[in-house]
């Protein structure tokens, strides 16, 4: 049987590192199967990505498209981490200005596939005209997509018109679940939805435009973790192949490569080496989260780092810049992780069996917190149901329960058990094999012999 010919696959993630990093990880795994990747983003974002392993460098080309200037977007702001939340719509408006340069790249380089995110609502007619197959990649869990279900033909959106409607599982979920919003989370979503969108295009409109015509919906998950949700997603979108690509767990030794950012490990690694096994709680809220001043105060992070370190003696460390999260989580001194519940951060933590203290902030993370509580892999910090506020006492009590108390052993045990799935590289590789096989076969069926 003849070997499949090499595919040229373009990848175009949204301008957020919570999207860029999983897209890059997927690109590296596809490249290891013998195909060429063109990874498309802006110059500054590409410069901030982890270095590619030398053996993969010939198979991955970084395509830098300068981000058009728009009013109200700060200079050098190229990712959501560079701007406060209310400025993100201007980033989306600037991103929409990439339509012409991306179109030019696709026309001149003629990839077989473009694997893209939710944002480029203008991409489908371009790809269709050029005969380029499209696959949509979701960096969110299958359970999150099923809860939102932006497919209008599969439900009546008018049934969810108030925040309270989002505090219970939707009617199209046929099995028992706790995956739903808390009232304060639902209110925040509604408040954000009422705000004017400076980009002129809502996220739901973007999804409604990019989903029709895709030849695959790739989801960052696996059957062992979200089997019933994947089945439901496939039923809701029965005209689109829904394909799990695995959890895309990165490997600790690959994080950063030769990147200068690895120098931060000298400080954090030396400190961790001096701590007892399982005694450290790692606290990180992701690159997109912007807690209020009160939230920072309650987490004891509002103090000047020097004061914090003086007060805690050698018992704590504050790192205000980029941190080598994967290497920290892999260290044996870490016994738990206080997390904002981003799917990628959760994946990294459970890869090493770290029990979770859940403190969600952003749109999808409340649903992820419920999913993890349902699996008893972590506990959410108690919060005021109306405004979402929490206290330092509630944080301390939850940390003690999850990390130390006898009553919290079930969460520690379940997290360790989940490591057998999240950390099983062979298992996760089988999902990549099937996805790549789909890309090869589908392209062959659509276009005949690859050129």
Q: Which residues pair with 367 in a beta bridge?
A: none
The whole-number pLDDT of residue 257 equals 40
**What CA–CA distance (Å, rounded) separates 348 from 265?**
17
The whole-number pLDDT of residue 150 equals 66
The whole-number pLDDT of residue 383 equals 93
Per DSSP, 252 falls in state: G
**What CA–CA distance (Å, rounded) separates 61 from 163?**
45
Three-state DSSP class for residue 355? strand
Q: Which of 42, 43, 60, 38 is nearest to 51 (CA)?
A: 60
Which residues make Cβ contacts (< 8 Å) with residue 355, sequence separation at least 6?
335, 336, 337, 377, 378, 402, 403, 408, 411, 412, 414, 415
Lookup: tokens for 116: 């893209």
Angular region, 324: left φ>0, alpha ψ -120 to 50, beta rest = beta
Q: What is the CA radius of gyration of the chain?
A: 22
- Alpha-helical regions (H) of 284-408: 293-298, 305-312, 325-330, 343-351, 365-374, 392-403
**What CA–CA distance (Å, rounded) separates 291 from 260?**
28
Three-state DSSP class for residue 84? coil
Q: What is the pLDDT of residues 210-238, one digit of tens each?
A: 999 999 999 999 999 999 999 999 999 88
Which residues make Cβ contacts (< 8 Å) with residue 72, sequence separation at least 6?
87, 90, 198
For this structure, is 364 an active site residue? no
For this structure, is 82 an active site residue? no
- Among candidate residues 19, 95, 116, 331, the one labeled active-site is 19
- pTM for the predicted model, two decimal places: 0.88
Phi/psi of residue 203, nearest 5 degrees? -65, -35
Three-state DSSP class for residue 213? coil
Cβ pair 18, 286 in contact under 8 A: yes
Instruction: Map out the domains of the chain with their CATH numbers.
Output: 8-249+425-447 (3.40.50.2000), 262-422 (3.40.50.2000)
Give the number of C-alpha atoms closer than 13 A to the C-alpha of residue 379, restricted to the C-beta side. 20
Query: Dihedral of CA 257/339/421/218: which sign?
Result: negative
The whole-number pLDDT of residue 450 equals 40
- Among candidate residues 82, 96, 117, 295, the one labeled active-site is 117
pLDDT 10s per residue in the chain (451 long)? Answer: 455 679 999 999 999 998 999 999 999 999 999 999 999 999 999 999 999 999 999 999 999 999 999 999 999 999 999 998 889 999 999 999 999 999 999 999 999 999 999 999 999 999 999 999 999 999 999 999 999 886 655 555 567 888 899 999 999 999 999 999 999 999 887 776 655 578 888 888 898 899 999 999 999 999 999 999 999 999 998 889 999 999 998 876 544 443 444 566 777 888 899 999 988 999 988 767 776 777 766 775 435 344 444 545 556 666 656 678 899 999 999 999 999 999 999 999 999 999 999 999 877 899 999 999 999 999 999 999 888 888 888 999 999 999 999 999 999 999 999 999 999 999 999 999 999 999 999 876 665 434 3
**What CA–CA distance (Å, rounded) separates 414 from 353?**
8
**From the CB of residue 124, how many other CB atoms can be counted at a distance below 10 Å?**
17
Q: Which of 241, 222, 229 is nearest to 429 (CA)?
A: 222
Phi/psi of residue 244, nearest 5 degrees? -70, 135
The whole-number pLDDT of residue 316 equals 67
CA distances from 67 to 38, 64, 391 (A): 17, 9, 41
The whole-number pLDDT of residue 152 equals 56
The whole-number pLDDT of residue 190 equals 76
The whole-number pLDDT of residue 252 equals 64
Residue 375 C-alpha from the chain's centroid: 19
**From the CB of residue 402, how many other CB atoms can be counted at a distance below 10 Å?**
29
What 381-389 contacts at long range (C-beta under 8 Å, 24+ apart), as own/partner pairs, is: 381/357, 383/182, 383/184, 384/184, 385/182, 385/183, 385/184, 386/183, 386/184, 386/187, 387/184, 388/182, 388/184, 388/185, 388/188, 389/294, 389/295
Q: What is the pLDDT of residues 274-316, one digit of tens each?
A: 999 988 999 988 767 776 777 766 775 435 344 444 545 556 6
């Amino acid at each position: 049987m003849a070997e499949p010919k090499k595919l040229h696959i373009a990848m175009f993630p949204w301008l957020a590192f919570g999207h860029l990093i999983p897209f890059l990880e997927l690109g590296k795994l596809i490249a290891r199967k013998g195909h060429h990747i063109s990874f498309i983003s802006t110059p500054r974002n590409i410069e901030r990505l982890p270095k590619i392993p030398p053996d993969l460098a010939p198979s991955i080309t970084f395509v830098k498209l300068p981000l058009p200037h728009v009013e109200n977007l700060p200079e050098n702001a190229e990712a959501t981490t560079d701007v406060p939340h209310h400025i993100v719509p201007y980033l989306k408006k600037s991103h929409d200005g990439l339509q012409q340069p991306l179109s030019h790249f696709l026309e001149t380089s003629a990839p077989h596939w473009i694997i893209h995110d939710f944002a480029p609502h203008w991409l489908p007619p371009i790809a269709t005209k050029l005969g380029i197959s499209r696959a949509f990649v979701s960096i969110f869990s299958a359970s999150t997509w099923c809860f939102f279900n932006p497919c209008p033909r599969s439900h009546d959106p008018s049934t969810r018109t108030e925040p309270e409607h989002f505090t219970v599982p939707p009617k199209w979920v046929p099995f028992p679940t706790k995956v739903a919003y808390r009232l304060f989370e639902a209110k925040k979503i509604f408040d954000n939805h009422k705000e004017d969108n400076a980009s002129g295009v809502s996220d739901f409109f973007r999804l409604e435009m990019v989903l029709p015509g895709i030849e695959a919906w790739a989801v960052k998950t696996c059957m062992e973790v979200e089997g019933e949700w994947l089945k439901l997603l496939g039923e809701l979108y029965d005209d689109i192949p829904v394909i799990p690509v695995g959890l895309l767990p990165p490997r600790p030794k690959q994080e950063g490569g030769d990147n200068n950012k690895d120098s931060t490990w000298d400080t954090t690694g030396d400190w961790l080496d001096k701590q007892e096994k399982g005694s450290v709680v790692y606290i990180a809220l992701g690159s997109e989260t912007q807690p209020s001043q009160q939230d920072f105060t309650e987490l004891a992070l509002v103090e000047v780092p020097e004061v914090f370190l003086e007060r805690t003696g050698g018992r704590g460390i504050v790192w205000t810049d980029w941190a080598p999260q994967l290497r920290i989580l892999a260290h044996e001194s870490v016994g738990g992780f206080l997390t904002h519940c981003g799917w990628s951060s959760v994946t990294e933590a459970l890869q090493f069996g770290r029990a979770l203290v859940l403190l969600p902030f952003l749109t999808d993370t409340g649903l992820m917190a419920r999913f993890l509580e349902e699996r008893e892999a972590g506990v959410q910090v108690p919060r005021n149901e109306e405004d979402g506020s929490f206290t330092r006492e509630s944080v301390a009590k939850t940390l003690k329960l999850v990390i130390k108390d006898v009553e919290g052993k079930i969460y520690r045990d379940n997290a360790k058990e989940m490591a057998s799935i999240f950390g099983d590289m062979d298992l996760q590789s089988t999902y990549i094999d099937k996805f790549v096989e789909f890309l090869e076969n589908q392209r062959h069926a659509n276009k005949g012999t690859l050129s």
